[in-house]
Structures are given as C-alpha cells and as structure tokens.
Amino acid sequence: MLPNIPELVIFLVLAVIAVAAALGMLASSNAIYSALFLVVNFGVVATFYLLLGAPFIAMAQVTVYAGAIMVLFLFVIMLLGAEKMKQTSHNLLWQKPLSIVLIVLLLSISFYVVLGQGVSVGSDLMQNASGYGSPSAIGTLLFQKYLFPFEATSILLLAAMVGAVVLTGVRRQRRRIRKSRRL
Amino acid sequence: MIPTSYYLALSVILFAIGVAGVLLRRNAIILFMAIELMLNSANLVFVAYSRQFGALDGQILVFFVMTVAAAEVAVGLALIVTIFRSKASIDVDDISMLKG
Amino acid sequence: MFELVPFILLFPVLGLLTNLVFGRYLGERFVGIIASGAVAASFIVSVIQVFALVNNNFHVETVLVADWITIGKMYLPWQIRVDTLSVTMMVLVTGVGTLIHIYAVGYMHGDKRFARFFVYLNLFVVMMLVLVAADNYLMLFVGWEGVGICSYLLIGFWYDKGDDNLGNARAGRKAFVVNRIGDFGFLIAMFMIFGAVGSLQFDAVLYYFENHGMEVGQLATTITLLLLVGAAGKSAQIPLFVWLPDAMAGPTPVSALIHAATMVTAGIYMMVRSAPIYAIAPSSQMTVALLGAGTALMAGTIALAQWDIKRVLAYSTISQLGFMVAAVGLGAHVAAMFHLITHAFFKALLFLSAGSVIHGVEHGAHKSDDHCDPQDMRNMGGLKDKMKITFGVYVVGAIALAGIFPLSGFWSKDEILADAWHVGMVEGHWHGMTVYILLALAAVITAFYMTRQIILVFFGSSRSAAANHAAENPPTMTVPLIGLAILSIVGGGINLPWSHTLGSWLEHTHHFFHGIDFNLTVALTSTALAVASIFVGFIVYYRRPLESSTAPDPLMSVLGPSLKFFYNKWYIDELYGTTFVRLYEWKARFLAFKVDRDFWHDFVHNQIILKSFKNVSGTLSGPVDRLGINKFFDGLAYSVHNIAVKVLRPVQTGYVRNYALGVMLGVVMVLGIMLIR
C-alpha cells in the first residue's frame, strides 16, 4: 500500500529540510548557527508529530524543546562568549576516519533492518479514532496509569534544579570557606 | 498515509547525524545539541510506532523523554559553565586530565 | 539441726574470702575479729551438732552438699558425715582454733602480712573441717591435702627468714615432700579400697570389711599398712617424722594449731576412722602399735637434748603422737581419741606459752639491743618473775604433759598405758608388754625434759640481756592461754575411768569402741615414775643451774656421747641425707645433665630434630621458595605490570570523544551480532 502523492511530497520535503538542518547544525563552526539550525530541525520534527496524530506532543516539542531548551542553549553560548572555538593542537589521529566508518556501518545496518526484510513495518496501518493523542487523552493516561512515574519526574526535575544551582553557585561557597578560614 | 518505515529511516539518518556530532565536534555545547538530536530521533520512532499500534503509551514515553532531556540539559549546561570558569574553554579535548 | 552443718565450713570460707579481698584495707583489729569470729561461729555450730546428735539418739546423719564425681558405679558426693567421732573432731578443731586465732591476733601484731596470715589460718580450718567432716575417703583426702598445703604455706610464712634467708622456705619444702611420701601410701590404699569395694564411702567400705572378715585378711593387711604410711607422714611417725621439728619455722600459733593440736592428729583420726579394717588385720595392728611406741620413745630421747624451746615441744609432740598411734594399734581407739583431745589442749597451751616466752624475750631483745636467738633456752632463765601468767600456765601445761594427777594428761596417758598393760598381761600378747615398757619409758623421759625446760626457762638467773628485759604480753595472748590452761586441768573430765563419757559417746560410731577400766597398778606406777623423774630433773638442773649461755648441758656428764647422739636427732636427717636425698640428687643430676641436656637437648633435639628441620627448611626456603615459587609470582606480577603499562594505559586517553567512540564501536558490534544471528 503506497501513500498518496501529495502526502508523500510533503513528507519528503519536510524530511529533506530536517536532514539539511541537522547537517547544518553538525557542520557550522559558529555555535549560534548550530543552535538555530537545531531549532529548525525541532520545528520540522514537531510537524511530523502533527502528521503522526500527536498534537499534544507536537506542542510540547515546540514549547519545551524548540522554545525553552534551545533558549537555554543560546543563553549559555552567549553568556560564555563561546560562539567559536579556538583552533587547538589536539589531534586524535584515527578518531575521524574510524568515526566515519562506524557511522556508515550503523547507517547501513539500520537501513538494512528498517527497509529490508528484517522487520515488517508499515504493513498494517490503521486509522485511529478521532481524539486520539488529544491533550485530554494524554492527560487521562498520564494521571492514571503513569501517575507514579509522573510524580517521580517532578523529583528528577527538582534534583536537576538543585544540581544546577549548586554547580554554578561555586563562588559563594568559596567565599564562605575563606570567611571560615579567617575566623 | 506515510508508512512507518519512512519515519524510521528518517530517524535513523537524524540519529547518525547526532552520533557524528558527538564523535567529530569538539565544542561541548554542540556535543550537547547532538545528543538532543539523537533523543529527538528516538522520540520520532516512539510517535511513529504509537500511531502504527494505536497505543498512546508511546507518546507518554516521549513526554517523559522530554522531561529527562530538560533535566539533563539544565545539569549539563551548569557543568559546562563550571568547567568554563576553571578552564576558560569549552573544548572537550581540553578536559583530559583523567588519563592513564 | 543437721542442715546447719555446711555452715561449719561456710563461716571460715567467708572469713577467708573477706580477709583475702578486703584484708589490706581493714586493719589488724577487723581482720582479727573477722577471722576469729568465723572460727568461733563454726565452733557454735559444732556444739549445736552435739545436741543434734543427742536428740537424734546418736544416730549418724549425712548431709549432702553437692554432687561431685559420678562415673559409672563410682559415686562421690560432697557429703558431710555427722557422727560422734567427726563431731568430736569438729568441736576440738574449732574450739582450740578459736583460742589460737585470738592469741594470734596479739602474736602477729605488726606483721606486714597480717591479713594473709589469717587467710591461711582460716583456710586451714576449712580444710581440717573438710577432713574430719568427710563422708568418703576422697573427700577426706581433699582435706588431707588441703591442710598439707596450708601447713606448707604457714611453715614458709616468713619465707625470707632462716638460714641463708631460705631456711624457712626449705623447711616448708621438706614438710611438703615428706608428706608427699605419706600421701602416696594413702593414695595407693584408696585405690585398693576402691578396687575391692567399688566405693569410697565410709559406710560401704567399713561394712564390706566388717562382713567379709577373714576372706580379705591379706588385702586388709596391705591396705592398713599403706594407710599407716599415710598416717606416718601426716602424724610424724617413724620414719617420716623429720619434717615436724623443721616445721617450727612457722609462726608459733601455727605450731600450736597445725603442728600440735589438729593437723598432725589427722593421721590418728584417719586410722580411728578406718578401725574396722585394722580390726581384721592383726599383724598391721601390731606394726602400728610398735611403730607408735618406738616413735614415742625415740622422739622423747631427742627432746631431752634440744636447746630450742619450740624444738623440744616439737619432739614432745612427735612422742605424744606416738602414744596415740600406739593406742590405735592396741585397739584402744577411745584412749587414742582421748589423748588426742587432751594433748590438743595442753600442747596448744605449751606452744602458745612458748610463743609468749619468745615474744617476751624478743621484746626484751628490742629493749636491750641484745639480738641473741630468742628461742634458745640457754639465753633465757629467770623469767618466772617477769612473766607470771606465762609461767603459771606453762607449769600447768608441763604437769599435764608429764601426766601428774589429776590433770588431763594423767587420765589420757594412763588409759593408753592401761590398754597396753591389758593387751600385754591379760590377753598375753608379747607386743602389748613391749609397747607398755616403751611407753612407760617415754613417759618418764617426758616428765624429765619438761622439768628441764621449765627450769632452764623460768628458774635461775637471766643468762642474756634480752631475757633480763623480757615482759609479760597483752591480754589477747594471755587470755587464751588461761582458757587453755583451764581446759588442760579439767579436760580429763570428759572420760573419767568411772564414767567413760567419751567412750560411750564414741561407741555410737563404732560398736567396738570402748574405754578400759581403771588400772590402779598402772596409774600408781606411772605417777611414781613421773614424780621421780621430775625430782631427778630438779636435782640435775635446779641445784646446778647453767652458768652462762654457752655452758654445756649438765646431763653431759651423766650421759656423755649418747646425749650428743640425741642432740643430733639420732643422725636421722644425716642418714636420709646420705641415702635418699643424695641418691635423689644424683639421679636428678643424671636426669638433668646426662639424659635431658646431653641426650635429649644436645643429641635428639639439636642434632637430630633441629638439624634435619634446618635442612628441610633450608631446602624449602632456598630452591623451592626463592627460586621456584618466588620467581613464578615475581614473573606473574611483572607481566601484569607490563600488560597494564603497554596495553591498558594507552586506552585511557582522557578524551571524552574517544570514550564515546568506544561506546559507538560496541553499539555497532552488538547490532552486527544481532543481525548475523
């Protein structure tokens, strides 16, 4: 069963944009550009989520990923003034070639599995009911079946917050130590 | 309907690009972005399969992955800031004191 | 009433424990009160036992304290036997013991080991009571050994005094070793009894021998002779008496309590207890009688020639113990026990008075700075006005010992002599007459040497400055003396010939214990002999008193060299020295130097064991360990080191991207494997 042509065209265009953005992120020497390319990529992926019938996830993708996380990235880059790397003399001789070989191997294996006879996927697509993936459906599942993991994530986020504060709050600590030494 | 395998192929490509970012770039921030890219490709697979099997659990997992990614980015960037303070560099190759 | 019996043992145990733990903090007064009070409490309980027995119609009663040994058919409990015999001994031991404890408080005043002395003394009382209260031979043996060790400890109490600062310790050792010989005989006898009877309980053993009569006569003879060896050790009879005179190295209260009144009578008590076995072994009885009589005479002759005030009394004690042993041998158990009791009174009195004299002379020695030997009678003289109480009680003791009517010694000694006369004349046994003659001679000598002692010590003029400054002692010492003096005077009353109180009392223990009728001939003869002997003594010593502390004995002119022979104790110590002691020393030297050092140490140990061990260990440490095992593990360690340096170290580059590459490699490989499978 083949998809209809317009759908396929939209998919292919978006896919090309996503891959191109990813490659741009990989290739650009300026970290700001990398970040912006990644925002593009995330946006495209959000669109895919919409196409796949996951509007809630798509919105979350835009707000959390493309919005909050990428802003944080940009903020840090600008804070540190580390848009560009200084050229250093470190040279891991066989890192680059070996990496490329491995990536090619990974790609080929994966494609072999995905597109070849490995796993039969996409053969029995079904039309999901309306309201599938809606915020209310997600919410119901999240607060019933996944209540405990959901609560655990709150602790995880709290821990991350505390960790970030402690890690970056070093200066104040040092001052305190100095004070105690003076005493 | 686009077959699930197409999405899988796309996510494989994105994942590979992420791996390349981790293995080839020395900028710690770009390294992190590459990791985010890989997480995204995985999310794409989750959502694709979620559609194929009509199970919302995949989407829930994506939601959790996002949360974890947010936490990870917060701590990771804090680490980078701290390292930058002591080394004045965000080159991961400069952080190589722990060696044999 | 009978259940009170364990308290007899318990009180002195408590006393000794208290003094052992707290003695050094309590001070002399309290230590003395605790020790004397403990023994006095035991005495009260003992007297209660007398009434308990009377109420119980004199029937024997046993009180089980605890189980001890139960192996197969061997059953040995800690069991106290209350019968007329053991109660007599209990009352005697605790009664005399109390008086001597009180006396010792005064005598030991100022000694640096005051508390320890009373710990030992209380321990002695405990052990003596275990001995007399025992219901089986093994428990008796425990007490027997216990009093032995106390005797050893107390003889050597002033272990840093005496010849070469070792003399007292040596005396203790001598007593211990000689007693060991006796104990050996006793032990063998016990084994044989158990072998024959299968029990050591008195009732079972004595019942067996009473009812198997003549069938086991041979066995009974062997056992009784071995028991005699034990008794000879403990009660200082020929040939094992040599330890007792040396035991006078101990403090005088010890000499009085242990080496005169109680412990040395343990042998007599044991033989009286075993009377039914002796009853079926006439040849043993005869041996016992002759041995005792011989000892009585021999020790008497030695006592004649001694200068040391306590030594005279020591030999006198051996002599009197000989009387008792002879009485046991004659089957006169009541007479033996009677003499045991009266002797305990007057000999304790004499020893304590002698201690009082010594104490007084020592006091004078301190005052006059004349440090002569305070025990040598040649340094005394003229003490009768300076120590009036001591003089009075000493004379009482001496007259009692000499056997003058109506003091206690007269009654008891006369009963023994009457028994000997009876066996000799009425029953017509030759040994009875022999014993009578020997004992009569011993009695004559006894009267003589006591006269000699009293005149030398108390009459005439002082022969040293120390004696000149001697003074009477405090009441703690004189009051017990007066008490014992009264007992010495009236003690004969417990078994007067017409009432036989003690005889009928002891009859409840063994039916054949009975007193003998008064024999006027014997009594008159012995009294006459004693009086004559005292008279002769007065002639010899009073009319020609010693001129100075170095003058020879006036008897020398009469007896000549034989007195020197007596003075040197018949050369018995020298005899043992050349025969047994030297032989043992030679054997010990041979074992030590030839067998142990040359053979075992130098040859077997050094040459064979040590050398071969060195060779083996040399091989093991050299080629095997150093070249083999050590090399191998060194190589192993080096190779580990090399692998680490050359292979593992470069992998740890420190570059995160490298490590990520490693992870990637792993992922691709896992994927590849999954695909291939």
| Contact yes or no for A105 and C658 at CB 8 A | no
| A106 contact residues in C (CB cutoff 8 A) | 664, 667-668, 671
Residue contact B14–A60, C-beta within 8 A: no
Return the minimum-mean-pLDDT range out of A115-124, C88-97, C102-111, C266-275: A115-124
Instruction: Give the gap in angstroms from C-alpha A155 to the nearest C-alpha of chain B.
Output: 10
Q: What ranges in C475-600 are assigned the alpha helix state H?
A: 475-490, 501-506, 520-537, 556-559, 561-567, 572-576, 582-589
The angle subtended at Cα A13 by Cα A10 and Cα A18, nearest 5°, is: 120
Question: What fold characterizes domain B4-89?
Answer: Helix Hairpins (1.10.287)
- The band of A121, judged by pLDDT with boundaries at 50, 70 and 90, is very low
Q: What was the pLDDT predicted at C518?
A: 80
**Interface test mutation site (partner C, options A95, A110, A113, max chain C beta carbons within 10 A):** A95
Query: Is the pLDDT at A120 greater than 60, yes or no?
Result: no
Cβ distance A168 to B17 less than 8 Å, yes or no, reads: no
User: Which chain A residue's Cα is nearest to B59?
Assistant: A57
CB contact under 8 A, C657 and B23: yes
In a domain, C118, yes or no: no
pLDDT of residue C346: 93
Q: Which A-chain residues 129-158 have CB contacts (< 8 A) with chain B?
A: 132-133, 137-138, 141-142, 145-146, 149, 153, 156-157
Q: How many A/C residue pairs have CB atoms within 8 Å? A: 31
Integer Cα distance of C595 and C598 in angstroms: 6
Name which of A69, A136, A174 to mutate to probe chain B: the one with the most chain B Cβ atoms within 10 A of its Cβ.
A69
Which of A98, A99, A109 comes nearest C675 by C-beta?
A109
CB contact under 8 A, B74 and A111: no
Query: In terms of pLDDT, which residue wins out, C656 or B61?
Result: B61
Same domain, C482 and C595: no
Per-residue pLDDT tens over the stretch C560-617: 777 788 888 888 888 888 888 888 888 889 998 888 888 888 888 888 888 999 999 9
d(CA C496, CA B96) in angstroms, rounded, equals 118
Q: Domain total for chain C?
A: 2
Whether A109 and C664 lie within 8 Å, measured CB to CB: no
- Say yes or no: C495 and C599 in one domain: no
> Which chains does chain B touch, 3 or more C-beta pairs < 8 A?
A, C
pLDDT at C652: 82
* Residue C8, both tokens: 């007899």
pLDDT score of A162 more than 60? yes
Residues A92, C657: C-beta atoms closer than 8 Å: yes
Q: Is there a single domain that holds both residue C508 and residue C642?
A: no
Same domain, C390 and C335: yes
Given CB atoms, is A79 within the 8 Å cutoff of chain B?
Answer: yes
| Chain B residue at shortest CA distance from A115 | B5
With a pLDDT cut of 90, the percent of chain C lying above it is 43
**Tens of pLDDT along C63-90?**
888 888 888 888 889 999 999 999 999 9
The shortest CB-CB distance from C672 to any of A90, A98, A109 is to A109
Q: How far apart are CA C65 and CA C428, in angstroms?
A: 47
Could you tell me which of C200, C250, C161, C182 has the C-alpha nearest to residue C79? C200
Residue A181 near chain B (CB below 8 Å) = no
Which pLDDT score is estimated for C469?
84
Residue C409 has pLDDT above 60, yes or no: yes
Q: Tell me yes or no: is domain A1-83 CATH 1.20.120.1200.
A: yes
List chains adjacent to chain C, taking adjacency as at least 3 C-beta pairs closer than 8 Å: A, B
Rounded mean pLDDT, A162-169: 87
> A65 vs B77: CB contact, 8 Å cut-off?
no
Show which of residues 18-47 on chain B sit within 8 Å of chain A, judged by CB atoms: 18-21, 23-27, 29-30, 32-34, 36-37, 40, 43-44, 47
pLDDT band at residue C316 under the 50/70/90 scheme: very high
- pLDDT computed for residue C266 by the predictor: 93
The answer to the question of residue C215 being in a domain is: no
**B contact residues 77-96, partner A, Cβ 8 Å cutoff:** 77-82, 84-85, 89-91, 93-94
Q: Does B52 touch chain A (CB under 8 A)?
A: yes
What is the C-alpha to C-alpha distance for residues C432 and C285, in angstroms, rounded to an integer? 11
State whether residue A106 sits within 8 Å of chain B by CB. yes
A100 neighbourhood in chain C, CB within 8 Å: none
User: Is there a single domain that holds both residue C556 and residue C592?
Assistant: no
Residues of chain C in contact with residue A103, where contact means CB-CB under 8 angstroms, are 664
Interval C186-213 mean pLDDT: 89
Model confidence at C511, in pLDDT bands (50, 70, 90)?
Answer: confident
pLDDT score at A94: 79
Query: For C662, which residue in chain A has the nearest alpha carbon?
Result: A99
- Per-residue confidence at A180, pLDDT binned at 50, 70, 90? low
Boundary-marking domain end, from C510, C535, C567: C567
pLDDT digits (tens, 9 = 90+) for B4-60: 888 999 999 999 999 999 998 888 899 999 999 999 999 999 999 888 888 888 999
Mind telling me how many Å the CA of B94 is from chain C's nearest CA? 8
Q: What is the mean pLDDT of residues A29-45?
A: 92
The nearest alpha carbon in chain B to C651 belongs to B100
- 3-state class of C579 per DSSP? helix
What ipTM, to 2 d.p.? 0.91
Last residue of a domain, one of C516, C541, C567: C567
As a whole number of angstroms, the distance between CA A124 and CA C272 comes to 121
> CB A105 to CB C668 under 8 A?
yes
Mean model confidence pLDDT for chain A: 82
Choose the closest CB to A121 out of B8, B33, B71: B8
- 3-state SS string over C276-316? HHHHCCHHHHHHHHHHHHHHHHHHHHHHHCCCEHHHHHHHH
Residue C509 and residue C623 in one domain: no
Minimal Cα distance from B35: which residue of C?
C660
Domain check: are C484 and C622 in the same one? no
Helix axes C266-273, C217-234, angle to 10 degrees: 160
Note the pLDDT tens digit of each residue in C157-178. Answer: 998 887 778 888 888 989 999 9
Is residue C73 domain-resident?
A: no
- The answer to the question of residue C262 being in a domain is no
Of C661, C667, C675, the CB nearest to A98: C661
Distance (Å, rounded) from C-alpha C325 to C-alpha C388? 35
CA atoms within 13 A on the CB side of C340: 31
Q: Scanning every residue of chain C, which has its alpha carbon at the shortest distance from the alpha carbon of B26?
A: C657
**What's the CA gap between C337 and C360, in Å, rounded?**
34
Domain that holds residue C601: 574-666
Domain boundaries, chain A: 1-83, 141-183
C308 φ, ψ to 5°? -75, 125
Q: Is residue C478 part of a domain?
A: yes
Last residue of a domain, one of C507, C532, C567: C567
Residue C400: band (very low, low, confident or very high) from pLDDT cuts 50, 70, 90: very high
Please tell me the distance in Å from C644's CA to the nearest CA on chain B: 10
Comparing alpha-carbon positions, the chain A residue that sits nearest to B82 is: A168
The answer as to whether C24 is a domain residue is no
Cβ <8 Å between C661 and A112: no
C277-315 per-position pLDDT tens digit: 888 888 999 999 999 999 999 999 999 888 889 999 999
- Same domain, residue pair C502 and C367: yes
Count of beta carbons in the 10 Å neighbourhood of residue C648: 11
Q: What is the mean pLDDT of chain C?
A: 88
Interchain contact, C655 vs A102, CB within 8 Å:
no
DSSP assignment of C232-285, as one string? HHHTT-TTSTTHHHHGGGS-HHHHHIIIIISGGGHHHHHHHHTHHHHHT-HHHH
Q: Is the pLDDT of residue C553 over 90?
A: no
Residue A86 tokens read as 């200084």
Q: What is the Cα Rg of chain C in Å?
A: 35
**Arithmetic mean of pLDDT, C612-629:** 88
Q: What pLDDT does C649 receive?
A: 84
**C670 pLDDT above the threshold of 60:** yes
Q: How confident is the model at residue A177 (pLDDT cuts 50, 70, 90)?
A: low
Judge: C661–A106 Cβ closer than 8 Å, yes or no.
Answer: no
Q: Average of pLDDT values for C475-490?
A: 89
Chain B residue numbers with beta carbons less than 8 Å from the beta carbon of A173 are none
Q: Which of C643, C647, C651, C656 to mutate against chain B (most B CBs within 10 Å)?
A: C656
C360, C367 Cβ separation under 8 angstroms: no
- Residue among B22, B96, B98 whose CB faces C660 most closely: B22
Please list every residue in chain C whose beta carbon sits closer than 8 Å to the beta carbon of residue B24: 657
Burial classification of residue B81, based on how many CB atoms lie within 10 Å of its CB (0-12 exposed, 13-18 middle, 19 or more buried): middle
C540 and C596 assigned to the same domain: no
Interface test with C, best of A85, A102, A104 (most C CBs within 10 A): A102
